[in-house]
């Protein structure tokens, strides 16, 4: 047998280090090409690393919880008889070919959601075997399956080793059959506004669990404190600043003390936006798509960017790059921390397509499956602080961008209409800009344009 070392790779985001979160194999295990070896935490995402080798695990070289530099050997694999491990340059060529090749149809014993891997963007470098630029490998935590053909079989192999995981298979709801949920779960669903008929159960007997309800709930209610925990038994806790939290801290400090921020705020009568959202929810054209005021806000920003392109720029010491496309970032609060995935070329999307993209982005972030590519190359960001009941704030720019817009909560307030005080749905739009690029008049026109759409969404039809 020939021994091969698997070195921690750069998974496509230019990282310099990563933390070993969980090993999926153990010494003595027989592994196949594309089998998930380990889950790592990079600066802003969890990534499952597939194996470029087939053989037997000789040894785990880095323990869980350890942060190592890119290029560090992390596992030793003994190739099976007659199978020599390919040299590094051939591995990279195979990885690139694997990313470009069409994905085979997934095969699994249990029902899974179908997915397809989009083609790799032009100019992309080599990627990991089975990982791809935009593909997702199987996640046993989320119970979802990506488009790679080899992964489901491996998931089943792991299932055989772990009875608890095997029992928690996803049960597809059967139309006309009542859902199975305990009274406390039903109360939780009612409190969160969740329709249990739309929830996919993962309980052992096909029942809906608390986690199922929370996962299905709106993002605002998911991250509210559902219950008050007991005080911790220790007087103080110390949390290492590493991985994602380290990157968040670095990005915020760099942004705050590099780009001179200027912030603007405006109160908006969003009553017509709420009426428009209500009509879209009942439209047959939007059946099965989640509709919220965030969708109108996203469309408003795209429209306002087209009218004020400087807010969609990037600043370098030598030039200002005006980007005539919108990779719309959505700041997402996840259990692991703040991430900002973005919707590529949002300016070309219809209302329905954009709604679907927003929903998928939220679900992916909530389940910890956001890929590094999904967080790269953003041009402008929305932070929806209204879901937490906040009226407004002074958002800090996402590094590499010169504009960020905050959408506050939308609630009924007294508002003067035609000289009379009436109850109207009111919100506050706040925005911060890099004053090196965006002058006050441009910033003001942009915010006014966003506000005008929220006041009258029909302007989007022009």
What integer pLDDT is reported at residue 377 of this predicted model?
93
Catalytic residue among 7, 224, 261, 435: 435
DSSP H/E element including 263: strand 261-269
Q: What is the 3-state secondary structure (H, E, C) of 180-234?
A: CCCHHHHHHHHHHCCCHHHCCCCCCCCCCCHHHHHHHCCHHHHCCCCCCCCCCCC
What integer pLDDT is reported at residue 242 of this predicted model?
79
Give the predicted TM-score (pTM) of the model: 0.60
Mean pLDDT of 206-229: 66
Q: Is the predicted pLDDT of residue 108 greater than 60, yes or no?
A: no
Per-residue burial over 18-52, b = 16 or more CB atoms within 10 Å of its CB, e = otherwise:
bbbeebbbeeebebebbbbbbbbbbbbbbbbbbbb
**What's the Rg (C-alpha) of the chain?**
24
Q: How far is CA 361 from its chain centroid?
A: 5
Question: Which candidate, 52, 59, 56, 18, places its Cα nearest to that of 36?
Answer: 52
Q: For the chain, what is the mean pLDDT?
A: 78
C-alpha torsion sign, points 147, 151, 156, 158: negative
Q: List the chain domain ranges.
A: 3-166, 171-217, 243-461
Q: What Å distances lie between residue 309 and 346, 376, 445, CA to CA?
A: 14, 20, 11
Q: Is 435 in the active site?
A: yes
Q: In the structure, what pLDDT confidence band is assigned to residue 80 with cuts at 50, 70 and 90?
A: low
| Tens-digit pLDDT profile for residues 332-387 | 888 778 889 999 999 999 999 999 999 999 888 877 788 888 999 999 999 999 98
Q: Is the predicted pLDDT of residue 122 greater than 80, yes or no?
A: no
| Two tokens, residue 442 | 């441009």
CATH classification (class only), 243-461: alpha beta
What integer pLDDT is reported at residue 407 of this predicted model?
95
CATH classification (class only), 3-166: mainly beta
CA pair distance 44, 252, nearest whole angstrom? 13
CATH classification (class only), 171-217: few secondary structures
Beta bridge partners of 170: none
| Tens-digit pLDDT profile for residues 132-171 | 333 443 443 344 333 333 333 333 333 333 444 433 444 4
CA pair distance 139, 47, nearest whole angstrom? 10
What integer pLDDT is reported at residue 454 of this predicted model?
96
27 Cβ contact list (under 8 Å, min separation 6) = 57, 58, 59, 60
- Return contacts of 299-303, CB within 8 angstroms, 24+ apart: 299/351, 299/354, 299/453, 299/457, 299/460, 300/449, 300/450, 300/453, 300/454, 300/460, 301/326, 301/328, 301/380, 301/382, 301/405, 301/450, 302/326, 302/328, 302/346, 302/347, 303/449, 303/453, 303/459, 303/460
Three-state DSSP class for 429? strand
């Amino acid at each position: 047998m020939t021994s091969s070392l698997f070195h921690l790779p750069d998974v496509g985001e230019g990282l310099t280090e990563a933390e070993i979160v969980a090993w999926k194999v153990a010494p003595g295990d027989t592994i196949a090409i594309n089998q998930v070896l380990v889950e790592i935490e990079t600066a802003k995402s969890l990534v499952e690393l597939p194996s470029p080798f087939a053989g037997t695990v000789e040894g785990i070289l880095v323990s869980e919880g350890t942060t190592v530099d890119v290029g560090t050997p992390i596992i030793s694999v003994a190739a099976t008889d007659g199978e020599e491990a390919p040299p590094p340059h051939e591995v990279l060529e195979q990885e690139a070919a694997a990313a470009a090749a069409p994905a085979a149809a997934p095969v699994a014993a249990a029902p899974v959601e179908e997915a397809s891997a989009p083609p790799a963007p032009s100019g992309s470098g080599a990627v990991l075997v089975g990982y791809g630029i935009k593909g997702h490998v199987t996640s046993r935590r989320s119970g979802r399956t990506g488009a790679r053909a080899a992964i489901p079989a491996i998931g089943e192999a792991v299932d055989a080793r772990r009875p608890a995981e095997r029992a928690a298979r996803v049960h597809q709801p059967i139309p006309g059959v009542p859902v199975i949920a305990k009274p406390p779960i039903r109360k939780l669903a009612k409190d969160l506004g969740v329709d249990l008929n739309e929830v996919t159960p993962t309980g052992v007997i096909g029942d809906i669990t608390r986690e199922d309800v929370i996962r299905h709930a709106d993002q605002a209610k998911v991250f509210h404190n559902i219950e008050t925990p007991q005080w911790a038994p220790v007087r103080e806790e110390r949390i290492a600043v590493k991985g994602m939290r380290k990157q968040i801290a670095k990005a915020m400090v760099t942004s705050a003390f590099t780009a001179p921020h200027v912030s603007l705020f405006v109160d908006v009568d969003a009553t017509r936006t709420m009426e428009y959202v209500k009509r879209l929810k009942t439209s047959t054209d939007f059946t099965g798509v989640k509709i919220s005021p965030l969708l109108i806000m996203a469309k408003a920003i795209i429209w306002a960017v087209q009218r004020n392109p400087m807010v969609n720029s990037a600043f370098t010491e030598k030039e200002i790059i005006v980007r005539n496309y919108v990779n719309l970032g959505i700041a997402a609060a996840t259990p692991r921390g703040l991430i900002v995935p973005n919707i590529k070329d949002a300016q070309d999307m219809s209302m329905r397509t954009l709604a679907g993209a927003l929903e998928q982005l939220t679900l992916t972030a909530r389940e910890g499956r956001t890929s590094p590519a999904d967080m790269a190359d953003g041009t402008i960001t929305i932070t929806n602080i209204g879901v937490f009941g906040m009226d407004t704030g002074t958002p800090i720019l996402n590094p590499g961008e010169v504009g960020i817009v905050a959408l506050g909560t939308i609630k009924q307030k007294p508002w003067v209409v035609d000289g009379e005080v009436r109850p109207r749905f009111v919100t506050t739009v706040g925005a911060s800009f890099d004053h090196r690029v965006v002058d006050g008049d441009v910033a003001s026109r942009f915010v006014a344009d966003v506000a005008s759409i929220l006041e009258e969404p029909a302007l989007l039809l022009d």
